[in-house]
Protein backbone atom coordinates (compact mmCIF):
# COMPACT_ATOMS: atom_id res chain seq x y z
CA UNK A 1 0.00 0.00 0.00
CA UNK A 2 1.30 3.45 -0.88
CA UNK A 3 0.12 5.25 2.25
CA UNK A 4 -0.80 8.91 1.63
CA UNK A 5 0.73 9.95 4.97
CA UNK A 6 -0.48 10.91 8.41
CA UNK A 7 -4.21 11.41 8.92
CA UNK A 8 -3.96 12.91 12.42
CA UNK A 9 -1.93 12.79 15.61
CA UNK A 10 -3.55 12.47 19.03
CA UNK A 11 -1.89 13.73 22.21
CA UNK A 12 -2.81 14.27 25.86
CA UNK A 13 -3.52 17.72 27.31
CA UNK A 14 -4.36 18.91 30.82
CA UNK A 15 -6.69 21.90 30.98
CA UNK A 16 -8.92 21.98 27.86
CA UNK A 17 -9.41 25.76 27.86
CA UNK A 18 -5.69 26.44 27.99
CA UNK A 19 -5.14 23.88 25.23
CA UNK A 20 -7.82 25.44 23.02
CA UNK A 21 -6.53 28.98 23.48
CA UNK A 22 -2.95 27.99 22.62
CA UNK A 23 -3.71 26.05 19.45
CA UNK A 24 -6.28 28.51 18.10
CA UNK A 25 -4.98 31.80 19.48
CA UNK A 26 -1.23 31.30 19.24
CA UNK A 27 -0.74 28.70 16.49
CA UNK A 28 -3.82 29.83 14.57
CA UNK A 29 -5.40 26.43 13.94
CA UNK A 30 -9.15 26.00 13.66
CA UNK A 31 -11.04 24.11 16.33
CA UNK A 32 -12.92 21.71 14.05
CA UNK A 33 -14.58 19.40 16.57
CA UNK A 34 -15.45 19.36 20.27
CA UNK A 35 -16.56 15.94 21.38
CA UNK A 36 -15.64 13.29 23.96
CA UNK A 37 -13.25 10.39 24.00
CA UNK A 38 -15.45 7.51 22.82
CA UNK A 39 -13.58 5.10 25.10
CA UNK A 40 -13.67 7.47 28.12
CA UNK A 41 -16.62 9.83 27.54
CA UNK A 42 -16.07 11.86 30.69
CA UNK A 43 -13.07 13.53 29.03
CA UNK A 44 -13.05 15.95 26.12
CA UNK A 45 -11.65 15.13 22.70
CA UNK A 46 -10.64 18.30 20.86
CA UNK A 47 -9.69 18.36 17.16
CA UNK A 48 -7.65 21.17 15.55
CA UNK A 49 -6.83 21.54 11.86
CA UNK A 50 -7.47 23.56 8.74
CA UNK A 51 -10.78 25.19 7.80
CA UNK A 52 -12.34 21.92 6.64
CA UNK A 53 -10.55 19.52 8.98
CA UNK A 54 -8.80 17.78 6.10
CA UNK A 55 -6.71 14.66 6.73
CA UNK A 56 -3.07 15.61 7.10
CA UNK A 57 -3.84 18.81 9.05
CA UNK A 58 -5.33 17.41 12.25
CA UNK A 59 -3.88 17.39 15.77
CA UNK A 60 -6.28 16.11 18.44
CA UNK A 61 -6.20 15.99 22.23
CA UNK A 62 -7.70 13.87 24.96
CA UNK A 63 -7.88 16.15 28.01
CA UNK A 64 -6.85 14.63 31.33
CA UNK A 65 -7.35 17.48 33.77
CA UNK A 66 -5.19 17.09 36.88
CA UNK A 67 -3.08 14.22 35.52
CA UNK A 68 0.71 14.16 35.90
CA UNK A 69 3.10 14.94 33.03
CA UNK A 70 4.25 12.02 30.91
CA UNK A 71 7.81 10.72 30.61
CA UNK A 72 9.58 10.91 27.27
CA UNK A 73 11.28 7.68 26.24
CA UNK A 74 11.29 4.75 23.86
CA UNK A 75 8.06 3.44 22.39
CA UNK A 76 6.68 6.94 21.89
CA UNK A 77 6.06 9.59 19.32
CA UNK A 78 8.03 12.45 20.89
CA UNK A 79 7.48 15.50 18.66
CA UNK A 80 4.74 16.84 16.38
CA UNK A 81 5.85 18.87 13.38
CA UNK A 82 3.80 21.39 11.38
CA UNK A 83 4.61 22.71 7.91
CA UNK A 84 5.00 26.47 7.50
CA UNK A 85 6.00 28.56 4.47
CA UNK A 86 9.61 29.14 3.58
CA UNK A 87 11.12 32.22 5.25
CA UNK A 88 8.36 32.36 7.88
CA UNK A 89 10.35 31.16 10.90
CA UNK A 90 11.45 34.66 11.90
CA UNK A 91 7.81 35.66 12.20
CA UNK A 92 7.02 32.55 14.21
CA UNK A 93 9.94 32.97 16.59
CA UNK A 94 8.82 36.54 17.31
CA UNK A 95 5.15 35.52 17.70
CA UNK A 96 5.95 32.68 20.09
CA UNK A 97 8.46 34.63 22.17
CA UNK A 98 5.97 37.51 22.46
CA UNK A 99 3.52 34.96 23.89
CA UNK A 100 6.13 33.96 26.49
CA UNK A 101 7.19 30.73 24.77
CA UNK A 102 10.87 29.79 24.62
CA UNK A 103 11.99 28.91 21.10
CA UNK A 104 15.04 26.89 20.06
CA UNK A 105 16.48 27.36 16.58
CA UNK A 106 16.18 27.83 13.74
CA UNK A 107 18.51 25.01 12.79
CA UNK A 108 18.93 22.87 9.71
CA UNK A 109 17.57 19.37 9.45
CA UNK A 110 17.86 17.54 6.15
CA UNK A 111 16.45 20.01 3.57
CA UNK A 112 14.52 22.21 5.99
CA UNK A 113 14.85 24.85 8.70
CA UNK A 114 13.17 24.07 12.03
CA UNK A 115 12.25 25.82 15.25
CA UNK A 116 11.27 23.85 18.36
CA UNK A 117 9.18 24.76 21.42
CA UNK A 118 6.71 23.13 23.79
CA UNK A 119 3.00 23.72 24.23
CA UNK A 120 1.58 24.64 27.67
CA UNK A 121 1.57 20.95 28.70
CA UNK A 122 5.15 20.29 27.62
CA UNK A 123 4.39 18.59 24.27
CA UNK A 124 7.31 19.21 21.87
CA UNK A 125 6.14 21.07 18.75
CA UNK A 126 8.23 21.82 15.67
CA UNK A 127 7.62 24.23 12.81
CA UNK A 128 9.40 23.10 9.65
CA UNK A 129 10.02 25.30 6.61
CA UNK A 130 11.14 23.44 3.49
CA UNK A 131 12.61 25.25 0.47
CA UNK A 132 9.84 26.20 -1.94
CA UNK A 133 7.21 24.31 0.02
CA UNK A 134 4.57 25.28 2.53
CA UNK A 135 2.38 22.21 2.42
CA UNK A 136 -0.99 21.71 0.74
CA UNK A 137 -3.51 24.52 0.45
CA UNK A 138 -3.24 28.24 1.09
CA UNK A 139 -2.98 28.10 4.87
CA UNK A 140 -5.44 28.30 7.73
CA UNK A 141 -7.76 31.30 8.03
CA UNK A 142 -7.07 32.21 11.66
CA UNK A 143 -5.28 35.01 13.53
CA UNK A 144 -1.96 34.31 11.79
CA UNK A 145 -1.47 36.25 8.52
CA UNK A 146 -1.79 33.96 5.49
CA UNK A 147 1.83 34.29 4.29
CA UNK A 148 3.04 32.79 7.57
CA UNK A 149 0.16 30.48 8.56
CA UNK A 150 0.56 26.78 9.29
CA UNK A 151 -0.27 24.71 6.20
CA UNK A 152 -0.87 21.37 7.93
CA UNK A 153 1.08 18.60 9.55
CA UNK A 154 4.65 18.09 8.42
CA UNK A 155 5.27 14.85 10.28
CA UNK A 156 6.16 13.12 13.53
CA UNK A 157 9.25 11.91 15.37
CA UNK A 158 9.35 8.40 16.88
CA UNK A 159 11.70 7.22 19.66
CA UNK A 160 12.39 3.49 19.36
CA UNK A 161 15.03 1.16 20.77
CA UNK A 162 16.19 0.15 17.29
CA UNK A 163 14.94 1.67 14.05
CA UNK A 164 15.20 -1.35 11.73
CA UNK A 165 11.87 -3.07 12.43
CA UNK A 166 9.94 0.22 12.50
CA UNK A 167 11.61 1.13 9.21
CA UNK A 168 10.59 -2.24 7.77
CA UNK A 169 6.93 -1.58 8.58
CA UNK A 170 7.03 1.90 7.04
CA UNK A 171 8.79 0.83 3.84
CA UNK A 172 7.43 -2.68 3.28
CA UNK A 173 3.82 -2.25 4.42
CA UNK A 174 3.12 1.48 4.13
CA UNK A 175 5.11 2.23 0.98
CA UNK A 176 7.34 4.88 2.57
CA UNK A 177 10.89 5.40 1.31
CA UNK A 178 13.94 6.44 3.26
CA UNK A 179 15.21 9.84 2.17
CA UNK A 180 17.79 10.74 4.79
CA UNK A 181 20.00 9.63 7.65
CA UNK A 182 21.88 11.81 10.12
CA UNK A 183 23.39 10.11 13.13
CA UNK A 184 20.63 8.21 14.91
CA UNK A 185 17.80 10.00 12.98
CA UNK A 186 16.33 8.24 9.94
CA UNK A 187 13.79 10.00 7.71
CA UNK A 188 10.97 8.33 5.77
CA UNK A 189 8.51 10.00 3.42
CA UNK A 190 5.11 8.91 2.10
CA UNK A 191 4.52 8.38 -1.59
CA UNK A 192 2.49 11.50 -2.43
CA UNK A 193 4.60 13.99 -0.46
CA UNK A 194 1.64 16.07 0.77
CA UNK A 195 0.73 17.15 4.28
CA UNK A 196 1.84 14.76 7.00
CA UNK A 197 4.28 12.90 4.77
CA UNK A 198 7.33 12.71 7.03
CA UNK A 199 8.22 10.22 9.75
CA UNK A 200 11.55 10.58 11.53
CA UNK A 201 12.65 7.51 13.47
CA UNK A 202 15.29 8.06 16.14
CA UNK A 203 17.14 5.04 17.46
CA UNK A 204 17.66 5.43 21.24
CA UNK A 205 18.75 1.99 22.53
CA UNK A 206 19.70 3.24 26.01
CA UNK A 207 16.68 5.46 26.66
CA UNK A 208 14.13 4.59 29.37
CA UNK A 209 10.65 3.50 28.31
CA UNK A 210 8.24 6.35 27.77
CA UNK A 211 5.15 6.91 29.91
CA UNK A 212 2.15 8.44 28.17
CA UNK A 213 0.29 11.14 30.07
CA UNK A 214 -0.16 14.93 29.84
CA UNK A 215 2.24 16.40 27.30
CA UNK A 216 2.68 13.11 25.42
CA UNK A 217 1.52 11.80 22.06
CA UNK A 218 -1.02 9.01 22.51
CA UNK A 219 -0.99 7.62 18.96
CA UNK A 220 -0.25 8.41 15.32
CA UNK A 221 -2.97 7.82 12.74
CA UNK A 222 -2.08 7.11 9.11
CA UNK A 223 -4.44 7.57 6.18
CA UNK A 224 -6.44 5.01 4.27
CA UNK A 225 -8.38 6.56 1.36
CA UNK A 226 -11.39 4.35 2.09
CA UNK A 227 -12.66 1.19 3.78
CA UNK A 228 -11.35 -1.13 1.05
CA UNK A 229 -7.78 0.12 1.39
CA UNK A 230 -8.07 -0.03 5.17
CA UNK A 231 -9.27 -3.63 5.11
CA UNK A 232 -6.53 -4.65 2.68
CA UNK A 233 -3.90 -3.16 4.97
CA UNK A 234 -5.50 -4.80 7.99
CA UNK A 235 -5.24 -8.20 6.30
CA UNK A 236 -1.61 -7.52 5.42
CA UNK A 237 -0.78 -6.52 9.00
CA UNK A 238 -2.57 -9.43 10.64
CA UNK A 239 -0.91 -11.79 8.17
CA UNK A 240 2.45 -10.43 9.31
CA UNK A 241 1.69 -11.16 12.96
CA UNK A 242 0.48 -7.75 14.15
CA UNK A 243 -2.35 -7.72 16.71
CA UNK A 244 -4.78 -5.38 14.94
CA UNK A 245 -8.15 -4.35 16.35
CA UNK A 246 -11.40 -4.80 14.45
CA UNK A 247 -12.66 -1.75 12.56
CA UNK A 248 -14.07 0.83 14.99
CA UNK A 249 -16.55 3.54 13.98
CA UNK A 250 -15.18 6.92 15.14
CA UNK A 251 -18.03 8.83 13.40
CA UNK A 252 -15.66 11.03 11.37
CA UNK A 253 -13.56 8.09 10.16
CA UNK A 254 -13.23 4.34 10.61
CA UNK A 255 -10.22 3.17 12.57
CA UNK A 256 -8.03 0.18 13.31
CA UNK A 257 -5.20 0.17 15.87
CA UNK A 258 -2.01 -1.78 16.55
CA UNK A 259 1.44 -1.27 18.07
CA UNK A 260 4.31 -0.97 15.64
CA UNK A 261 7.49 -2.99 16.41
CA UNK A 262 9.05 -0.15 18.44
CA UNK A 263 6.00 0.10 20.71
CA UNK A 264 4.29 3.22 19.32
CA UNK A 265 0.52 2.92 18.88
CA UNK A 266 -0.47 3.34 15.23
CA UNK A 267 -3.95 3.89 13.86
CA UNK A 268 -5.15 3.54 10.29
CA UNK A 269 -8.03 5.99 9.72
CA UNK A 270 -10.16 6.41 6.62
CA UNK A 271 -10.29 9.82 4.96
CA UNK A 272 -14.08 9.96 5.25
CA UNK A 273 -16.79 10.65 6.06
CA UNK A 274 -15.20 13.77 7.59
CA UNK A 275 -16.13 16.32 10.24
CA UNK A 276 -19.20 17.84 8.58
CA UNK A 277 -21.37 14.75 9.19
CA UNK A 278 -22.88 16.15 12.40
CA UNK A 279 -22.58 19.95 12.08
CA UNK A 280 -22.30 22.31 9.10
CA UNK A 281 -18.82 23.16 7.91
CA UNK A 282 -19.18 26.85 8.78
CA UNK A 283 -20.01 25.95 12.40
CA UNK A 284 -17.41 23.26 13.02
CA UNK A 285 -16.13 23.32 16.59
CA UNK A 286 -18.79 25.70 17.92
CA UNK A 287 -20.58 23.24 20.25
CA UNK A 288 -20.17 19.95 22.05
CA UNK A 289 -21.24 17.13 19.73
CA UNK A 290 -21.74 13.57 20.90
CA UNK A 291 -21.99 10.29 19.01
CA UNK A 292 -25.56 9.04 18.75
CA UNK A 293 -24.98 6.29 21.32
CA UNK A 294 -24.02 8.87 23.96
CA UNK A 295 -26.64 11.53 23.23
CA UNK A 296 -28.95 10.18 25.95
CA UNK A 297 -26.17 10.84 28.49
CA UNK A 298 -25.59 14.46 27.44
CA UNK A 299 -26.82 16.06 30.68
CA UNK A 300 -24.71 13.82 32.92
CA UNK A 301 -21.65 14.29 30.71
CA UNK A 302 -22.01 18.08 30.65
CA UNK A 303 -22.11 18.12 34.46
CA UNK A 304 -18.77 16.32 34.67
CA UNK A 305 -16.83 17.72 31.70
CA UNK A 306 -14.80 20.86 32.53
CA UNK A 307 -16.49 23.99 31.16
CA UNK A 308 -14.89 25.26 27.95
CA UNK A 309 -15.57 28.61 26.29
CA UNK A 310 -15.84 27.80 22.59
CA UNK A 311 -15.16 30.19 19.70
CA UNK A 312 -18.23 31.12 17.69
CA UNK A 313 -18.22 31.47 13.90
Residue 68 in domain: yes
Residue 312 in domain: no
Angle at 53 between CA 279 and CA 44, to 5 degrees: 70
CATH of the domain at 118: 3.10.180.10
Distance CA 100, CA 127 (A): 17
Residue 217 in domain: yes
For position 192, what pLDDT does the model report? 80
Residue 218 in domain: yes
Distance CA 170, CA 197 (A): 12
3-state secondary structure of 136: coil
Residue 224 in domain: yes
For position 191, what pLDDT does the model report? 86
Exposed e or buried b for every residue in 32-46, given b needs 16+ CB within 10 A? Answer: bbbbbbbeebebbbb
Residue 313 in domain: no
DSSP H helical ranges for the chain: 16-21, 89-98, 163-168, 227-239, 298-304
Residue 172 in domain: yes
pLDDT of 3-36, one tens digit each?
899 999 999 999 999 999 999 999 999 999 999 9
For position 88, what pLDDT does the model report? 95
CB-neighbour burial class of residue 107 (10 A; exposed 0-12, middle 13-18, buried 19+): exposed
Distance CA 47, CA 177 (A): 29
Structural domains counted in the chain: 1
Q: Going residue by residue through the chain, which has 313 residues, state the pLDDT in tens, using 9 for 90 and above.
A: 788 999 999 999 999 999 999 999 999 999 999 999 999 999 999 999 999 999 999 999 999 999 999 999 999 999 999 999 999 999 999 999 999 999 999 999 999 999 999 999 999 999 999 888 654 445 576 899 989 999 999 999 999 999 999 999 999 999 999 999 999 999 999 988 889 999 999 999 988 999 999 999 999 999 999 999 999 999 999 999 999 999 999 999 999 999 999 999 999 999 999 999 999 999 999 999 999 999 999 999 999 999 999 988 7
107-111 contact pairs (CB < 8 A, 24+) = 109/182, 110/179, 110/180, 110/182, 110/187
Distance CA 14, CA 179 (A): 36
Backbone angles phi, psi at 186, to 5 degrees: -120, 130
C-alpha atoms less than 13 angstroms from C-alpha of 295 in its C-beta half-sphere: 5
Residue 309 in domain: no
Q: Which domain holds residue 156?
A: 6-304
- Provide CB contacts within 8 A for 4, sequence distance 6+: 55, 56, 190, 191, 192, 194, 223, 225
12, 218 Cβ separation under 8 angstroms: yes
Amino acid sequence: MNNPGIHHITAIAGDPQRNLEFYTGVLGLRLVKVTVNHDDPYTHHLYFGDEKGRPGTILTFFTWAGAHRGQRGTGQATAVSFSVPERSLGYWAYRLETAGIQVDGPFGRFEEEVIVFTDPDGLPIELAARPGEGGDGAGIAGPVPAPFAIRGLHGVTLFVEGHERTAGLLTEKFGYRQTGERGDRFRYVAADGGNGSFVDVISVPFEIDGRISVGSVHHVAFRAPGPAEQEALRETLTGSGFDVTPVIDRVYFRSIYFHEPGGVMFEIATDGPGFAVDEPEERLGSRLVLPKWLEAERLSLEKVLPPVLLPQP
